[in-house]
């Protein structure tokens, strides 16, 4: 039994290919961050190695070892050239406990050009009993020569209702307050189950998100000097912990998108449901074109920070151009 919620189209495809004894040499799992690519790559690995009739059984020695990350024929590979070169050495060795070997590569988009070239060489002439499972957020971040040698498996966002039902069941939620929280988180998750589980179990999640929304209000109500001060604080925080700013920017983006949705009468699609009144007020205050412009500016700032742009200049520029 697959220990995974959703993405049934992927299990079916892999099960069918097993029936036709046409297991591919390489799979490419594609989907946004926190949608479940890491978990699914392990489930596929169990499926490929399981010795039971109904795969993956979760109980045989192969499945148990994979669960415990203690299987000598399953290799989790990093993205550097030296780690990819290690595959070259290991790929021709016979498996120890299984009939085949599986190499798993997460964050395929971070492979350097050198590492991609080395990987390509291996994929061009793969040994018979070896499977590669590579995951990436988007196919375009990988060299097309690699992507074209893999069977692409795309993970789709789950419905809000399915995520809500999963949280209720998985965390055995029964009281109304926790149900409301699960409802909000399933909306905010945008269909990414891994994200929803992390957010629900992180006791600080909603507090941080509410703080990010209050920052948004401070910026739009603040004059230039207040905005400069906030930019300084944010860039100092960025130097301490890079991930937080991306979460903040994602919250601001979702907030602005909600304002846009309300302005275009798509009320049922908003995700920050607990701020609806505030969002309506802001929608009355700003033109649609201003909101769209702000969304573009945040998106650009996020990309710029990702490309190691100067955080202070990027954030100054962002906050100055806020409505
Ligand atoms: Zn098994």
Separation CA 311–CA 60 (nearest Å):
50
Residue 11 CA, ligand 1 centroid: distance in Å: 15
Residue 18 CA, ligand 1 centroid: distance in Å: 15
**Contacts with 38 (C-beta within 8 Å, 6 or more apart), sequence order:** 106, 135, 194
Looking at 60-194, which runs of residues are DSSP E strands? Answer: 74-77, 101-105, 130-136, 151-154
Residue 60 CA, ligand 1 centroid: distance in Å: 4
Residue 55 CA, ligand 1 centroid: distance in Å: 6
Whole-angstrom CA distances from 114 to 30, 49, 132, 304 are 22, 31, 18, 24
Residue 143 CA, ligand 1 centroid: distance in Å: 34
Can you read off the two tokens belonging to residue 220?
A: 């739009």
Residue 135 CA, ligand 1 centroid: distance in Å: 23
Residue 28 belongs to what H/E stretch? Answer: strand 26-30
Residue 147 CA, ligand 1 centroid: distance in Å: 29
- Torsions phi, psi for 103 (to 5 deg): -110, 125
Residue 64 CA, ligand 1 centroid: distance in Å: 7
The SS3 of residue 155 is coil
Edge-to-edge strand list for the sheet holding 101-105: 74-77, 101-105, 130-136, 26-30, 151-154
Q: What is the DSSP string of 80-103?
A: SHHHHHHHHHHTTSPPSSSSSEEE
∠ CA 261-206-32 to the nearest 5 degrees?
60
The pTM for the full model equals 0.83
> Strand 130-136 relative to strand 74-77: parallel, antiparallel, unpaired?
unpaired
Residue 103 CA, ligand 1 centroid: distance in Å: 18
Tell me if the bond preceding 198 is cis, omega within 30° of 0: no
DSSP-assigned letter for residue 20: T
Query: So what's the pLDDT on residue 22?
Result: 66
Residue 35 CA, ligand 1 centroid: distance in Å: 24
Separation CA 139–CA 42 (nearest Å):
20
Residue 56 CA, ligand 1 centroid: distance in Å: 5
Separation CA 30–CA 171 (nearest Å):
28
Query: So what's the pLDDT on residue 176?
Result: 96
Query: So what's the pLDDT on residue 23?
Result: 67
Separation CA 74–CA 308 (nearest Å):
34
Residue 25 CA, ligand 1 centroid: distance in Å: 21
Contact in structure between 76 and 115 (CB atoms under 8 Å) = no
Query: So what's the pLDDT on residue 80?
Result: 86
Query: So what's the pLDDT on residue 46?
Result: 96
Q: Report, as ranges of residue numbers, the positions in the chain whose pLDDT lies below 50.
A: none
Residue 62 CA, ligand 1 centroid: distance in Å: 6
Residue 302 CA, ligand 1 centroid: distance in Å: 42
């Amino acid at each position: 039994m697959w220990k995974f919620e959703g993405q049934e189209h992927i299990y079916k495809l892999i099960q069918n290919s097993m029936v036709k004894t046409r297991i591919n040499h390489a799979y490419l799992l594609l989907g946004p961050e926190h949608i479940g690519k890491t978990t699914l790559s392990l489930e596929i690995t169990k499926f490929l190695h399981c010795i039971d009739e109904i795969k993956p059984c979760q109980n045989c020695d192969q499945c148990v070892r994979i669960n415990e990350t203690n299987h000598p024929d399953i290799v989790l590979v990093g993205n550097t050239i030296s780690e990819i070169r290690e595959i070259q050495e290991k790929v021709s060795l016979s498996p120890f406990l299984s009939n085949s070997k599986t190499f798993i590569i997460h964050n395929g988009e971070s492979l350097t050009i050198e590492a991609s070239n080395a990987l390509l060489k291996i994929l061009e002439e793969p040994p018979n009993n070896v499977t590669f499972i590579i995951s990436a957020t988007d196919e375009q971040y990988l060299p097309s020569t690699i992507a074209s040698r893999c069977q692409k498996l795309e993970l789709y966002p789950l419905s809000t209702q399915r995520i809500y039902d999963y949280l209720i069941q998985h965390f055995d939620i029964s009281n109304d307050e926790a149900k409301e929280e699960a409802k909000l988180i399933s909306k905010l998750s945008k269909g990414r189950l891994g994200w929803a589980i992390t957010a629900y179990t992180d006791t600080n999640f909603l507090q941080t998100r509410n703080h990010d929304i209050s920052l948004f209000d401070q910026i739009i109500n603040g004059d230039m000097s207040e905005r400069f001060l906030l930019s300084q604080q944010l860039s100092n925080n960025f130097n301490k912990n890079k991930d937080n700013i991306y979460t903040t920017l994602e919250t601001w983006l979702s907030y602005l998108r909600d304002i846009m949705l309300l302005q275009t009468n798509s009320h049922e699609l908003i995700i920050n449901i607990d701020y609806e009144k505030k969002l309506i007020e802001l929608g009355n205050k700003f033109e649609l074109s201003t909101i769209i412009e702000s969304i573009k500016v945040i998106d650009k700032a996020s990309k710029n920070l990702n490309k190691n742009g100067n955080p202070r200049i990027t954030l100054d520029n962002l906050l100055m151009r806020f409505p």
